Each structure stands twice: as C-alpha cells, then as structure tokens.
Structure 1
Amino acid sequence: MRSAPTPPSERGRTGDAKAGQGPATAGRVGPNAVIQVIAALERTGLASVSPEIFLRAGVSQWLARPPAEMIDETGAAGLHYAVRTVLSPDQAAGVLTLAGTLTADYLLANRIPRLARTILGMMPSPLAARRLVRAIDDHAWTFAGSGYFRGLSGNPTIVEILGNPLCARDRDADLQSAAPDRTEGVCFWHAAVFQRLFAVLVSPSVRVREVTCEARGGACCRFEIVWS
C-alpha cells in the first residue's frame, strides 16, 4: 500500500493521513476480506452458492480452509468480483455489506483496545474522527494492498483508495457494460467497514457513501463520511 500524492488544494488540510508503504505486505490484504464473505453468505442463506462463487474466483481452497494470514490481493479481488457476478446486484450488495460490517466488528473486538475505544467515545466527534482516520491510515495496507490510500478528516471526512485492488476485476471487465442501469459504486465491503467503525467510535448518526468508484470510471474509490 502506498500513500497518494496530495493535490495542492488539499495540502495543509488538518487531519490529512500520511500513509506509508509496507514493502513486506504490498499486494496483500487481510484474511477478513475472505473469512467474512463466507460468514455473510451463510447468514444470508446463500451458503449453497458459495462453492460456485469460490470456484469462479479460482480460490476454492479458501472455502474448504479459510485463510488465517495475509493473502494475495488478486485472490480477494477475484472473490469479491465473483460475488458481484454470480449473485444478483442486490444480493451481492447485501452480502458484501454484511461482510464489511462483520469485518469491522472483528476489528473492534480484537484489534482496537478497549481503552482506545473508551477514549475515542469520550472525544468530540471531530477529534475522534481525526484520530480514527490516523489509525485507519496506519493499517491501510490491510485493505488497500498495493493501492494508494489517503484520509482527509473533517465533516465530511473523505477516504480515498487509488488503485483499489478489490475492484480491479470490475475495472478490467468494465462491469458498467454488463449492468448499465446501475451507476453506484461496487465497494460495499469497504463502505460497510468504514460505516461500522465510525458509527461505533465517532457518532451513531454517521453515514458513509461511495461518491466515486474506479469500477464505474472514477479516478479513485472515494468515500464521504458525514454525521450530524
């Protein structure tokens, strides 16, 4: 994961994330990008379709033995693409959204210390958002892989991934031509992760929306995070 160059208009903005590259993990993402998809398929009553999805993605071994370590981002990208192509658009959105929520729940329970959660909960929302953006930036390599990540704190908070590996297959296949009536982004998993983390740690009124998506021809996958 690499840090994105900051445009002149954004330089000096308070809370800019300064993501660093992790050479040892470039091109790899965390296993929750797979594990929680399996769980979401089961919870939504679609477990019977799981073998077809994983076979289509070329990662059937992950269904039999879910990964426990960092994984090649191309396999995860293939899985998310297979979910979006095997299932109906609404089913795929539901599965990937639930998988993102489950991923965030895992992070809250296992990766964010209770003391840190308590302190964030006591902060004013703008300050909590700034701290959370910095924390996400520090660990962005787990979900941005070889892509560039940048977070701009504020209300709205803006999170961007340039070269998002999890929609790389959609860019290559030009999914718009297959579903011209659907113009929204496809990064439901990322959006749900951000939604859950910000709702718990910043404000329960938070709303996350993907405003541009590389799979739909956008320059980056850009998420707008607002709260009241």
Structure 2
Amino acid sequence: MAAAFDNSHPPQRQAGLMGANMVVPLHAVIEKEIGGVDRDLVFHASGITDLPGEAEFVPEGKVAHLHQLVWEKWPEQAPRMMDMAGRVAAEVFVAHYIPPKARLMLQNMPWSISAWLVGKSARHNAWTFAGSGMFAIQSTSRLALFHNPLALNINADGPCCQYYAAMFEHMFQRLSHRDFTCKEVCCSATGSDHCAFDISL
C-alpha cells in the first residue's frame, strides 16, 4: 500500500491525549520485528523519549507522529506490526477498563447483547485511543472515527488504520464472540471524512 506523508501539519482540532496503549505495544513489536536500535531512533524522532507507564497519557501529536514514522520507515512491515500492536492494545484496554466480573458477564451473554455493551464501553473510554477524535457507534455493526488523529496527515490509496481494526477486532473477540472480525471500509487517509470499521461474525 502506497502512502504519502504530509509534513505541512495543517490546522487540526485541539490536541488531546491518548493512552499509553497506543504507544507501548508498538515499542515491543518493533523491537521484535525490526530491532531495538531502529525502534529507539523512531521513538526519539516522534518526540517520545521515555516510554510512558501503563496509566500515563501521551500528547496525541506525538502518538500520531510515531505511527506515521512507522508507516514511512517500514511500509512493508507496518501493516503486520500495526496489527500485532493493536491486538496487544486491546488486551490492555480490556484489563484496565473492563473489571473481571464484567468480563465474565459479557462472555456469557448472548453475543448480540454483549457486542452492544462492548461498543458502549469503547465509546465511554474512547478518548484513551481516539484523542481529540470523535468515536461513534453508527450501527450495531459499524464503528466510526471522525477527525482520527492517526490518519489526518496521511494520504494513502487504501485504508491504513490496521492498529484500530486489530484493536476493535480483538476486543470484540475477547469479550463477545471469538469469531468476530473487523474490517476498515473507509479511511480519512484516502479522502473520506471519517474512518469506518465494520464488525461482523
């Protein structure tokens, strides 16, 4: 997938914060797939010089810059690395924001009900992964991100939010039904006014 990176930084919505789970999983995955030296160079270039703790938050501009640099430096490996890191991020989200009793309850509900509740929980905590972007549940099978900070400065010929797609997919698999899949069907990086993700069995 070809992607061009716009370094002009056009005016954006007021900057927000994102959770460490948008950064820390990439740190581990890049070390495994590429190596620690190159990983550290990219992290420093993004402005993230110290790895945040699990409960800490990172300015979304730095998170977005990190994700863009990963796509720019390793275009062939980026989809796989983003997918891997997104699944780890889902595990972190579940561990931090879904109490054990709630997880057990969700896993034993009819999937149609638990899926709705998982989406509702994601919306309630969306600022941790969407920053200043707006997360919406458009229907029982579609999630959307408007003003997605991770896609605003990217021009691509196809959807490139593998991190989010993997995170949503794994979250629904863990809490609702193991056969759920998530596919990004439109992306701000391709000119759409939002990023949309279809959730299906």
The TM-score bracket by the shorter chain reads 0.7 to 0.9
SS of alignment partner, residue 36 of structure 1: helix
Question: Which of 130, 135, 139 matches 2:116?
Answer: 130
2:55 counterpart of 1:74: no
Instruction: Note if contact 2:137-2:143 (Cα within 8 Å) is conserved in structure 1.
Output: yes
State the Cα deviation string for residues 183-222 of structure 1 (Å, max 9, x = none).
3211111111101100111111111100000011112010
* 2:21 and 2:93 in contact (8 A); partners too: no
Whole-angstrom distance in 2 between the partners of 1:188 and 1:212: 12
Q: Deviation per CA, 1:62-116, whole angstroms, max 9, x where unpaired?
A: xxx20121111010000000000000x3301111111111111122233321111
| Partner residue, 1:22 | none
8 Å CA contact retained: 1:44, 1:95? yes
CA distance in 2, matches of 1:109, 1:134: 16
3-state SS of paired residue (1:90): coil
Kept after mapping to 2: 8 A contact 1:26/1:141: no
Which of these residues, 154, 177, 180, is aligned with residue 206 of structure 1? Answer: 180
CA shift, 1:44, in A, is: 2.1
Quick one: percent identity of the two aligned structures?
A: 31
Name the CA distance, whole Å, in 1 between partners of 2:101 and 2:15: 30
Over 3 Å counting, the alpha-carbon distance change for 1:148 and 1:212 in structure 2 is: same
SS at match of 2:52: coil
The structure carrying a bigger helix percent of its residues is 1
1:5-20 alignment runs, 5 A limit: none
Aligned counterpart, 1:160 = 144
Partner of residue 11, structure 2: none
The question of 1:53 aligning with 2:27 is answered: no
Structure 1 or 2: more strand by fraction: 2
Distance in 2 (CA, whole Å) between partners of 1:60 and 1:119 is 38
CA distance in 1, matches of 2:132, 2:98: 24
Secondary structure in structure 1 of the residue aligned to 2:151? helix
Matched residues, number: 186
Match of 1:102 in 2: 88
Aligned pairs for 1:182-193 (under 5 A) are: 183-193=157-167
Task: Tell me whether 1:39 sits opposite 2:23 in the alignment.
Answer: no
Superposition misfits of 4+ residues, deviation over 3 angstroms: none
Length-normalised TM-score, structure 1: 0.77
Structure 2 distance, partners of 1:216, 1:47, is 32
Contact 1:51 1:60 in 2 (8 A): no
**Aligned partners of 1:146 and 1:163 also within 8 Å:** yes
Where structure 1 has 5 or more consecutive residues not aligned to the other structure, the ranges are: 1-24, 177-182
In 1, Cα distance between equivalents of 2:183 and 2:167: 12
Q: Structure 2 unaligned runs (5+)?
A: 1-13
CA RMSD of aligned residues (A): 1.7
In structure 1, C-alpha distance between the alignment counterparts of 2:66 and 2:198, rounded to whole Å: 25
Counterpart amino acid of 2:150? L
Q: Counterparts of 1:90 and 1:131 in 2: how far apart (Å)?
A: 36
The SS at the match of 2:98 is coil
